[in-house]
Structure 1
Amino acid sequence: MDPLSRLANACTLTCIAAPFLSLFPDNAEMALSKNGIQRQSMADRVKQELLSRIMDGRMAPGARIVELQIAEEMQTSQGPVREALRELEAMDLIITEPYKGTRVRELTPKEIEDAYDVRAALEQLAAQLAAPTFKGNVDDLRKAANAVQTAAKRKDQRAYGTHDVKFHRMIVEAANNRALLRAWEALAYEVRIATRLGKTHIDLLAAQEVHWHLIDALEQGNGKAAGRMLAENVVAAFHQHK
């Protein structure tokens, strides 16, 4: 089954809807008041800090999150922390269970595989939509690919991962489809966890070689070929990290 067909089977409602949930405060009237705005601002700060800790591994999968402790660390009341935790739970990054408290969501191998299947389908579509934008205009994409290649030559896996995500993001953003971008961003946690916990002896130079063939296809406006290569690249990345 090709990645686009798998999208319907693997992508859950949460994957698409979660990024929207944080846009709507529980009490709109309070959010419009002065105190409400301040509270929302603090809740957003807490959310961003916790999100950063989760994504960079300071809060590992399964790690407990204690509301009072976070409030003390960030010198705020428990209200903004509670709001931030609700938003992170809506994004499917944390879970709260009776008598067990709140913790960073742990991923099963199936969840990670599903995330890569969906990401492959999204990026295949993104490349097809972005091809007209890149036709004859791939200078920035080449610069991004050069950064990936430089990191690969240095065997700097962390820098490689950072620049590789930027390269893929450029293509997704060039599709000019906000719904697609939000769905793609919703998979960031699964992809980051798979990368961090996966194999560390990957041949980075070989892995990045496909970028140049992909750029050639986009420069020619061949979205179908570019989409196929990008989807295959994502699937290959999943198997490399297993």
Structure 2
Amino acid sequence: MSQNTEHSADTLAVSQIADAITNAIREGRLAPGQRLTEIDFAQKLNVSRPSVREAFRQLSSDGLLQSQPYRGVSVRHMTRREVDDLFTVRAALEGLAVRLSTPMISANIKPLKDIQAALDKAEETRDLNAMSRHNLAFHMLFADVSENGLLREQLRRISNNVYWLQFRVLVADDKVLGTNTAHRALVDAVRTGDAMLAETIMVDHVDQSRQLVQALSDDHFAAPVAR
């Protein structure tokens, strides 16, 4: 096997490991605070420990995992304040993405309407897995169309945070499904080209999600760090 082929295989393995961990968190099979070990994932996925180590490093950089001296790697467990900080930044960035992309999306509304139709179907059939998948596509479309690489990368990293991945697991089904109302209002604003209204709707939508998460009991959050 050539060096380039080995490198490609290693890169693919790291990506597969990262996807496996991400999906396990999304489905609630890995919980915030749960410790992860290299040897466990190497054996389960039949991959090398260096590949697992690199996947851990990448997911830690994205904020999904955390690495602590003498304690190893675990699924990130956030305090209420950290969650609020995350939502504040997300609201600002998503609002900006909507404002920048509305002129382009309003000129070609079909991709957004197609995602909304899929969201509406998921809501009607109460398919929370589909709701989660199409919700991510809905939000990332604005960042992609904005053609702002830095904005897109920051929102991708935020979307991989543990509280978004576990949102449907932590919050009552009806409340998750109910968030689709804001999506429909946003589509209407974008269709008319009203970028400022669309931005306001997105910021409010993100804040409503913040309130749903903050309404969870204290056991879903890490204890505040003493200062």
* TM-score interval (norm. to shorter): 0.7 to 0.9
Is residue 238 from structure 1 mapped to residue 214 from structure 2 by the alignment?
Answer: no
Alignment partners' CA distance in 2, 1:51 and 1:161: 13
Task: Verify the 8 A CA contact 1:151 1:157 in the aligned structure 2.
Answer: yes
Secondary structure, in 3 states, of the residue corresponding to 2:175? Answer: coil
Question: What's 2:196 paired with?
Answer: 224
TM-score by length of 1: 0.75
- TM-score, L = length of structure 2: 0.80
1:113, distance to aligned residue in structure 2 (A) = 2.0
Q: 1:193 is matched by which residue type in structure 2? A: Q
Alignment match of 2:157 (pick from 181, 186, 193): 186
Confirm whether residue 112 of structure 1 aligns to residue 93 of structure 2: no
CA distance 1:141–1:106, change in 2 (3 Å): same
Structure 1's 102 and 175: CA in aligned 2 closer, same or farther, altered over 3 A? same
Which whole-Å CA distance do the structure 2 matches of 1:37 and 1:165 have between them?
A: 28
Q: Give, in angstroms, the shift of residue 228 of structure 1.
A: 0.9
Question: Which residue of 1 is the match for residue 36 of structure 2?
Answer: 65
The answer to whether the Cα contact below 8 Å between 2:62 and 2:158 also exists between their aligned partners in 1 is no
Please give the residue correspondences for 1:126-165 in structure 2 after superposition, counting only pairs within 5 Å: 126-165=97-136
Shift of 1:36: 4.3
Q: Which amino acid aligns with 1:202?
A: K
Q: Note the residue ranges of structure 2 that are not aligned, 5 or more in a row.
A: 216-227
The structure-2 alpha-carbon separation of the partners of 1:151 and 1:84, relative to structure 1 and needing over 3 Å to count, comes to closer
- Confirm whether residue 214 of structure 1 aligns to residue 186 of structure 2: yes
Residues 145-193 of structure 1, C-alpha deviations (whole Å, 9 max, x = no match): 1222222233333332332222222222221212111111111223223
1:93/1:212 Cα in 2 relative to 1: closer, same or farther (>3 Å)?
closer
After alignment, is 73-82 or 101-110 more displaced? 73-82
C-alpha change, 1:136 and 1:106, in structure 2 (3 Å) is: same
2:59 is equivalent to residue 88 of structure 1: yes
CA RMSD of aligned residues (A): 2.4
What amino acid is aligned across from residue 172 of structure 2 in structure 1? K
1:220 CA drift (Å): 2.3
Distance 2:37 2:16 in 1: 17
How far residue 125 of structure 1 moved from its aligned partner, in angstroms, is 0.5
Distance 2:203 2:170 in 1: 22
> Quick check: 2:168–2:176 contact (8 Å CA) kept in 1?
no
